[in-house]
């Protein structure tokens, strides 16, 4: 089988790259290890309720926002129906000690007004912080489509960190806590995340926040339809085991676990960068590059509880809850005590249509399966301890939530629980981490262009996590092939 472009992995980045390349006339194939495309965001149904897994909400989907423009360019906008989150408080920051609650709104003006009212005397800190976030966010290539104002140069890996910026602005622990809560959305603590990377993720949620009708499955349906129209071949149950690279250091094709060969001189890999090491010939990468990939640190994983709602009325209306023991953002690797961790609670609209709330998803960050912190790592699936440890963790998480938040008491029945091991199995990632490799100070993540001719990298570990980061990574990788100026110019015509 011969193609112009071969894409490894059918997650958000791989599917986006497939549409871009096919629209440009490349005969394109996508190879996915799982039985279905998009295992990370596919979600599942239990007891008649649809639960989302790797996609709950996103920024940047408002009219004219970066994701809106991307979907228009991809010819998919009609298939995506955004459902707005609560503009007056899309994420509720609830601190237990000292007791403090702040419903985080979206829209810069609203955020500024609410923060100024909640933190009198801190107006200058708030203004400066918001201005810095906005500037950084809007200078990110492909969020900003003007080549003169967004450099595609090397990523900023040396700071300042979010923590340093906040320490320079204010001494108020609670204000710093509120402005750090969205570290959960990239998985790096405030002292380690470059301010720029934090701003790219958090800044997208400051402008607008939406769910999508049908959740992750709704997104995948839209991709499937578009890829079918474009004649892209999708091969599921195909684990890529080898990237063929000739002595000229150029890609010539892929080999799968089942022994199939796919020929092609252009390949976009969306795998976790460390998985690349197992599928390229040893001599293709220099020892220093291999070492760099080997040493990359992953984001944390999570224990996730899926619960059905009992009783009358919604619990969180178009908003998520961030429950924290104290204002400081807890490091998931530091403690095993559930009470000392952040809990993220998201409403579930069982049919995915956004009509009736039928459940909640509770995410408790937890060390990933390859963590050096073995004492708090999960036992192997199938081992005698696994089921009991999982049950105990689930009970502790729900117990902590009910004890801390009276409105949740006697309102939830647990339907399912997943662990870091479950995430690893379903997402086919090496450690079951939430967002792949960390984007953190002093860590140089691989660039989209490699030294191997025809081999390009995309995915959450390359540019940024989340739907926005994964999709930008696809545009950057395809831009390296097709020409950034051309791609950005075409995108501008949809703005
Ligand atoms: C619990 C959870 C909640 C989240 N919530 C949100 C949210 O609310 N909003 C948001 O924007 N983001 C959220 N995210 C993050 C978001 O889901 C990811 O950043 C994004 O889906 C990553 O897309 P990707 O294409 O980079 O990677 P992936 O989806 O991991 O794609 C890589 C693909 O490669 C496949 N693969 C692996 N090995 C092989 C192989 N050898 N051969 C072929 N295929 C292979 C995998 O099966 C996978 O499909 C969440 C993530 C998790 C885990």
Q: Is 268 in the pocket of ligand 1 (CB under 6 A)?
A: no
Longest Cα–Cα distance in the chain: 67
By the 8 A CB rule, do 341 and 184 touch? no
Q: How far is the CA of 436 from the centre of ligand 1 (A)?
A: 8
Ligand 1, pocket-test mutation among 85, 216, 428, 463, most atoms within 8 A of CB:
428
pLDDT at 493: 96
At the topology level, CATH places domain 5-43+52-79+213-296+438-492 in FAD/NAD(P)-binding domain (3.50.50)
pLDDT at 375: 52
pLDDT in tens, 140-161: 999 999 877 777 765 656 779 9
Residue extents of the structural domains in the chain = 5-43+52-79+213-296+438-492, 106-208, 300-434
* HSE-CB of 40 using CA atoms within 13 angstroms: 29
Q: How many CB atoms lie within 10 A of CB 180?
A: 23
pLDDT at 378: 78
pLDDT surpassing 70 at residue 368: yes
Q: How confident is the model at residue 376 (pLDDT cuts 50, 70, 90)?
A: low
pLDDT at 314: 85
- Which whole number is the average pLDDT over 221-245? 98
- Which whole number is the average pLDDT over 487-495? 95
Q: How far is the CA of 173 from the centre of ligand 1 (A)?
A: 33
Q: Is 32 in the pocket of ligand 1 (CB under 6 A)?
A: yes
Q: Is 428 in the pocket of ligand 1 (CB under 6 A)?
A: yes
Share of residues in the chain with pLDDT > 90 (%): 88
In the block, which residue shows the tokens 């892209």?
Answer: 232
Whole-number mean pLDDT of the chain? 94
356 vs 393 pLDDT, higher one: 393
Q: Is 13 in the pocket of ligand 1 (CB under 6 A)?
A: yes
Q: Is 33 in the pocket of ligand 1 (CB under 6 A)?
A: yes
pLDDT in tens, 206-224: 999 999 999 999 999 999 9
pLDDT in tens, 415-465: 999 999 999 999 999 999 999 999 999 899 999 999 999 999 999 999 999
Looking at the DSSP assignment, which residues form a beta bridge with residue 347?
360
- Which whole number is the average pLDDT over 293-321? 94
Strand arrangement, sheet containing 301-309: 100-104, 91-95, 320-324, 343-349, 357-366, 301-309, 412-418
Q: Is 280 in the pocket of ligand 1 (CB under 6 A)?
A: no
pLDDT at 159: 78
**174 phi/psi in degrees, rounded to 5:** -70, -40
pLDDT surpassing 80 at residue 20: yes
Query: Which atom of ligand 1 is found nearest the CA of 363?
Result: 1
Phi-psi region of 367 (alpha: psi -120 to 50; beta: other; left: phi over 0): beta
């Amino acid at each position: 089988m011969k193609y112009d472009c071969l894409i490894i992995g059918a997650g958000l980045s791989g599917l986006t790259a497939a549409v871009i390349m096919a629209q440009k006339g490349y005969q394109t194939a996508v190879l996915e290890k799982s039985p279905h495309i998009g295992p990370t965001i596919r979600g599942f149904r239990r007891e008649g309720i649809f639960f989302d897994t790797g996609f709950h909400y996103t920024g940047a989907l408002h009219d004219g926002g970066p994701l809106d423009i991307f979907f228009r360019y991809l010819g998919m906008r009609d298939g995506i129906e955004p459902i707005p989150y609560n503009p007056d408080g899309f994420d509720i920051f609830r601190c237990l000690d000292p007791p403090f609650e702040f419903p985080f709104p979206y829209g810069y003006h609203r955020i500024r007004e609410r923060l100024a009212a909640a933190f009198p005397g801190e107006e200058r800190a708030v203004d400066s912080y918001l201005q810095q976030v906005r500037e950084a966010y809007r200078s990110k290539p492909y969020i900003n489509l003007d080549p003169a104002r967004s450099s595609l140069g090397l990523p900023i890996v040396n700071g300042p960190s979010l923590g340093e910026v906040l320490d320079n602005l204010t001494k108020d622990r609670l204000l710093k806590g509120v402005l750090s809560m969205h570290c959960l959305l990239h998985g790096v603590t405030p002292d380690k995340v470059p301010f720029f990377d934090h701003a790219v993720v958090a800044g997208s949620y400051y402008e607008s926040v939406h769910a999508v009708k049908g959740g992750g499955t709704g997104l995948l349906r839209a991709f499937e339809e578009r890829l079918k129209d474009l004649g892209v071949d999708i091969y599921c149950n195909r684990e890529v085991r080898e990237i063929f690279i000739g002595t000229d250091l150029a890609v010539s094709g892929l080999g799968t676990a089942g022994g199939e060969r796919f020929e092609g001189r252009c390949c976009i890999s969306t795998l976790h960068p460390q998985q690349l090491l197992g599928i390229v010939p040893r001599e293709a990468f220099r020892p220093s590059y291999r070492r760099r990939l080997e040493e990359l640190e992953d984001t944390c994983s999570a224990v996730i509880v899926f619960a059905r709602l009992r009783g009358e009325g919604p619990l969180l209306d178009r908003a998520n809850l961030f429950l924290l023991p104290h204002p400081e953002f807890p490091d998931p690797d530091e403690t095993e005590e559930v009470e000392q961790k952040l809990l993220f609670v998201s409403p579930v609209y069982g049919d995915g249509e956004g009509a009736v709330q039928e459940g909640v998803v509770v995410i408790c960050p937890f060390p990933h399966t390859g963590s050096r912190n073995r004492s708090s790592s999960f036992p192997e699936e199938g081992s005698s301890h696994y089921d009991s440890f999982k049950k105990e963790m689930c009970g502790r998480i729900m117990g902590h939530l009910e004890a801390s938040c009276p409105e949740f008491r006697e309102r939830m029945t647990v339907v399912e629980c997943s662990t870091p091991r479950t995430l690893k199995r379903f997402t086919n990632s090496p450690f079951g981490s939430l967002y792949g490799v960390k984007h953190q100070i002093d860590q140089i993540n691989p660039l989209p262009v490699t030294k191997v001719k025809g081999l390009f990298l995309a995915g959450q570990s390359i540019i940024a996590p989340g739907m926005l980061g994964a999709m930008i990574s696809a545009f950057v990788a395809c831009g390296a092939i097709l020409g950034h100026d051309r791609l950005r110019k075409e995108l501008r015509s949809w703005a």
